[in-house]
Amino acid sequence: MISPRLEAISQLIENKNCVADVGTDHGIIPIELVRSQRAQKVIATDISPQSLMKTQKKVQRDHLEKIIDLRVGDGLSPIEKNECDAIIVAGMGGLLIRDILEEGLMKLGEAQLILQPMNNMQYVRMTLEKIHHRILKEIVVYERHHYYQIILSEPGLMKFDNPIDYWIGLESARDFTPTYRDYISWFINQQEKIIKAAGQQRNTVNVRRKINQTKYFIRMLKEQKE
């Protein structure tokens, strides 16, 4: 059974000729895309040959060798420019995804991107703005006591007018579900914990600055719930 996070990622793919799943690990998404007929072909890549062997066994078990192409390589290096019309990069740190996009910029072509960082979402959004990829949709999924933000983007110009959007999603693309609102509440709670921890430290200029900055950040977050 596919997890809510991976199912949400898969459902952002619609009628694609070729999809690349970068860092596929167990190959759950490629098999789901083929089974649901959301993609005619999937290129599943991983930097680890051992991890790719796990996917290979599943592909062979389901007789999908002609549809799912397994390739070993780092980042976007295993795929060619415009070879795929959608590229998935999920389950990695935000800084790593940023590096993958910047280093593989020439490989992106006209492909849509489906991105699901585990942290540092703001850097991913900043990178999309920088490389001229506009965000079409932002969704939040809750799974096993964690909130996951998922982004769908395509080539195009985009500008963030509100800085808070780098952290919680481009306002025009957000899916305002109850899960999204719960995520904002959780995020506010995390910031309040930072203030509490800072208040227990020595009263210095840097600590006071940190507290004031975090309080301002909380006010901006609360505005998004109104």
* pLDDT per residue as tens digits for the range 21-31: 999 988 999 99
CA distances to 12, 100, 192 from 32, in Å: 12, 24, 39
Structure tokens at 31: 């098999």
* pLDDT confidence tier of residue 72, bands split at 50, 70 and 90: very high
Q: Which residues pair with 126 in a beta bridge?
A: none
Torsion sign, CA atoms 115, 118, 123, 125? positive
The pLDDT of residue 26 is 86
- What residues contact 10, with CB distance under 8 A and at least 6 apart? 2, 29, 32, 33, 36, 38
Q: Please, what is the average pLDDT of the chain?
A: 93
Q: Which residues pair with 115 in a beta bridge?
A: 89, 151
pLDDT above 70 covers a percentage of the chain that reads 99
Backbone angles phi, psi at 198, to 5 degrees: -65, -35
The pLDDT of residue 167 is 95
* pLDDT confidence tier of residue 15, bands split at 50, 70 and 90: very high
pLDDT exceeds 70 at position 75:
yes
The pLDDT of residue 226 is 62
pLDDT exceeds 90 at position 178:
yes
- Which CATH number is 4-175 given? 3.40.50.150
pLDDT exceeds 90 at position 202:
no
CA distance linking residue 91 with residue 104, whole number of Å: 18
Please provide the size of the chain in residues: 226
Structure tokens at 67: 């549809």
* pLDDT confidence tier of residue 197, bands split at 50, 70 and 90: confident
Q: What is the mean pLDDT of residues 156-181?
A: 93
Poorest-pLDDT segment among 77-81, 135-139, 146-150, 216-220 = 216-220
The pLDDT of residue 200 is 82
Max Cα distance, the chain (Å): 64
pLDDT above 90 covers a percentage of the chain that reads 78
In the block, residue with structure tokens 């899960």 = 179
Q: Please choose, from the candidates 26, 62, 66, 60, the residue with its C-alpha nearest in 3D space to the C-alpha of residue 42.
A: 66
CA distances to 34, 103, 213 from 189, in Å: 40, 35, 15
* pLDDT confidence tier of residue 32, bands split at 50, 70 and 90: very high
The pLDDT of residue 51 is 86
pLDDT exceeds 70 at position 215:
yes
Structure tokens at 186: 């959780």
